[in-house]
């Protein structure tokens, strides 16, 4: 199958006037961060802006509760449990050490309050109670957590419990935690919104959210802290500025003040030097091709989905595109059939490739049209 290539320099400085003529032309290196691993990812595009040791196995500590919340949200969405369900607290849940919601054995607690205990208060006791309500036992719930992790593409993560209690077989990576955070924000925004709540009172005990950035940075709306002696101080945070949502993962810092400080440094750097833009909308026409042997002889090729791209701000006016289309497409053609691709590059490095598909179906033409076009095509091939 032959293809035709069409090259076009995209002058995005003209299309997107927000790039100032006096803009910085060089992106400096990111700030030095004293952490085992870290990552900044754009929530919409999935682009990694800054990274260090993102595939190194680390102990998630209470960041585990992000998955506990995700599983619970999925079970609620699927109708398997409800926010109003009353959960009887087991002795095992009540006996959990570490951070607690202070639920009492034998008492009934709603799923909604347990979720708030997990997310806002980082309760180990509420995590176990919720796990037992969903799966019967915490061990069975851990199996469910691992199923969800696999479905989300968390390739180097294994959970053995719902709270993040230390276990040598309980691990993850910065990359996988970013994947989980993106999924929670995207799939269950109502549950994610609980991560922005600063305080929660249960059993006459008021506890504050341990994510201090909820007070220090108005752009931050979640999501979770974690700490054990072996894991260090960890923080996954999400921030929205000028409509751009970034997710930060910082693992293994030295103290409670180090993790928000590192997070803010990485976020400030990323927002200053990077930008996310929607370059193409779903069904946007990119080019037009001639169709042979069909009821119509012209067809628009479009991108299938919205295309969002994250780049250093100074690179947007350097993007080049190459459109490649199938040579001499012949009807019948189905709507959505791939007939080409759009390749984007910066400094001769390909940064994205988008399929181009038929905007509509074109049925085969009548006998006269098919014979006529067949003769014309044969002449073209032999000239």
- Which residues of the chain are in CATH 2.60.410.10 domains? 3-17+281-382
Active site (annotated) includes residue 122: yes
pLDDT mean across residues, the chain = 92
Residue range 24-37, pLDDT digits in tens: 457 899 999 999 99
Tokens of residue 345, six digits? 């590059």
Residue 28 DSSP label? P
- Residue identified by tokens 């994250």 is 310
The helix, strand and coil proportions of the chain, stated in percent and rounded to the nearest 5, come to 35, 30, 35
Pairing of β 232-241 and β 244-253: antiparallel
Paired tokens of 366: 């009548």
| Catalytic option among 90, 122, 126, 270 | 122
Angle (CA) 278 272 57, round 5°: 85
pTM as predicted: 0.85
Which residues contact residue 87 at a Cβ distance below 8 angstroms, ignoring those fewer than 6 apart?
Answer: 108, 109, 110, 111, 114, 129, 130, 132, 133
Residue 16 clears pLDDT 80, i.e. is over it: no
User: According to the model, what pLDDT value does residue 292 have?
Assistant: 97
Q: Please name the residue that has the structure tokens 């802006």.
A: 49
Nearest alpha-carbon partner for 159 in 174, 187, 138 = 138
Over the range 156-190, which residues count as b (16 or more CB within 10 Å of their CB) and which as e?
Answer: ebebbbbbbbeeeebbbbbbbbbbbbbbbbeebee
Q: What percent of the chain has pLDDT over 90?
A: 90
The confidence score (pLDDT) of residue 20 equals 31
Strands 37-42 and 244-253: antiparallel
Q: What is the pLDDT of residue 64?
A: 99
Is 3-17+281-382 in CATH node 2.60.410.10? Answer: yes
Homologous superfamily of domain range 49-224: DD-peptidase/beta-lactamase superfamily (3.40.710.10)
137-153 as b/e: b if 16+ CB within 10 A: ebeebbebbbebbeebe
The vertex-313 CA angle with 308 and 314, nearest 5°, equals: 130
Q: Which two tokens stand for residue 223?
A: 């999501």
Q: Say whether pLDDT at 331 is over 70.
A: yes
Residue 25 is predicted with a pLDDT of: 52
CATH 3.40.710.10 positions along the chain are 49-224
pLDDT of residue 23: 39
What is the C-alpha to C-alpha distance for residues 214 and 226, in angstroms, rounded to an integer? 15
8 Å CB contact between 343 and 320: no
Beta strands in the chain (DSSP E): 3-9, 37-42, 48-52, 86-88, 108-110, 199-202, 205-208, 220-228, 232-241, 244-253, 274-280, 285-290, 298-303, 307-312, 319-326, 338-346, 349-358
110 flagged as catalytic? no
Token pair belonging to 168: 């040598």
* Per-residue pLDDT at 8 exceeds 60: no
CA-wise closest residue to 98 among 253, 264, 238, 226:
226
| Pairing outcome for strands 285-290 and 274-280 | unpaired
User: How would residue 380 be classed by pLDDT, with cut points 50, 70 and 90?
Assistant: confident
pLDDT digits (tens, 9 = 90+) for 256-285: 999 999 999 999 999 999 999 999 999 999
User: Is residue 21 scored above 80 in pLDDT?
Assistant: no
Report d(CA 102, CA 96) in Å as an integer.
10
Return the half-sphere exposure (C-beta side, CA atoms, 13 A cut-off) of residue 361: 4
Does the active-site annotation cover 62? Answer: yes
- Per-residue pLDDT tens digits for 140-198: 999 999 999 999 999 999 999 999 999 999 999 999 999 999 999 999 999 999 999 99
Residue 300: CB atoms within 10 Å: 16
User: What pLDDT band is residue 361 in, cutting at 50, 70 and 90?
Assistant: very high
* Residue 22 scores a pLDDT above 50: no
Mean pLDDT on 100-121 = 97
Contact residues for 248 (Cβ-Cβ < 8 A; gap 6+): 38, 39, 40, 235, 236, 237, 238, 239, 263, 266, 267
Mean pLDDT of 54-80: 98
- Indicate which residue of 37, 43, 45, 62 is catalytic: 62
**Selected catalytic residue, list 37, 43, 45, 65:** 65
């Amino acid at each position: 199958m032959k293809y035709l290539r069409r090259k076009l320099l995209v002058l995005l400085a003209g299309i997107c006037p927000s790039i100032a003529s006096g803009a910085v032309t060089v992106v400096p290196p990111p700030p030095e961060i004293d952490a085992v691993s870290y990552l900044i990812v754009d929530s919409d595009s999935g682009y990694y802006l800054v990274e260090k040791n993102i595939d190194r196995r680390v102990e998630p500590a209470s960041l585990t509760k992000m998955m506990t919340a995700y599983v619970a949200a999925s079970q609620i969405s699927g109708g398997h449990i409800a926010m109003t369900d009353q959960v009887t607290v087991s002795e095992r849940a009540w006996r959990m050490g570490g951070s607690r919601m202070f639920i009492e054995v034998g008492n009934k607690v709603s799923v909604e309050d347990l979720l708030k205990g997990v997310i806002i208060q980082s309760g180990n006791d509420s995590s176990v109670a919720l796990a037992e309500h969903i799966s019967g036992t915490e061990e069975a719930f851990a199996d469910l957590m691992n199923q969800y992790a696999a479905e989300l593409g968390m390739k180097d993560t294994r959970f053995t419990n719902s709270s993040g209690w230390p276990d040598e077989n309980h691990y993850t990576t910065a990359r996988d935690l970013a994947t989980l955070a993106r999924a929670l924000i995207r799939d269950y925004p109502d549950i994610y919104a609980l991560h922005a709540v600063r305080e929660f009172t249960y059993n006459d005990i008021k506890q504050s959210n341990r994510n201090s950035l909820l007070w220090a940075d108005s752009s931050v709306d979640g999501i979770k802290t974690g700490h054990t002696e072996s894991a260090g101080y960890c923080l996954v945070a999400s921030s929205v500025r000028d409509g751009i949502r970034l997710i930060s993962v910082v693992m293994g810092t030295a103290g409670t003040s180090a993790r928000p400080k590192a997070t803010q440094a990485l976020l400030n750097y990323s927002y200053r030097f990077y930008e996310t833009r929607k370059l193409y909308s779903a069904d946007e026409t990119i080019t037009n091709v001639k169709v042979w042997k069909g009821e119509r002889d012209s067809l628009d090729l479009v991108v299938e989905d919205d295309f969002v791209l994250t780049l250093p701000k100074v690179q947007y006016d350097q993007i080049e595109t190459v459109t490649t289309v199938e040579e001499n497409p012949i009807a019948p053609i189905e709507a959505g059939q791939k007939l080409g691709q759009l390749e984007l590059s910066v400094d001769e490095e390909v940064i994205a490739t988008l399929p181009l598909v038929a905007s509509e179906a074109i049925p085969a033409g009548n006998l006269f049209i098919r014979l006529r076009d067949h003769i014309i095509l044969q002449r073209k091939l032999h000239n």
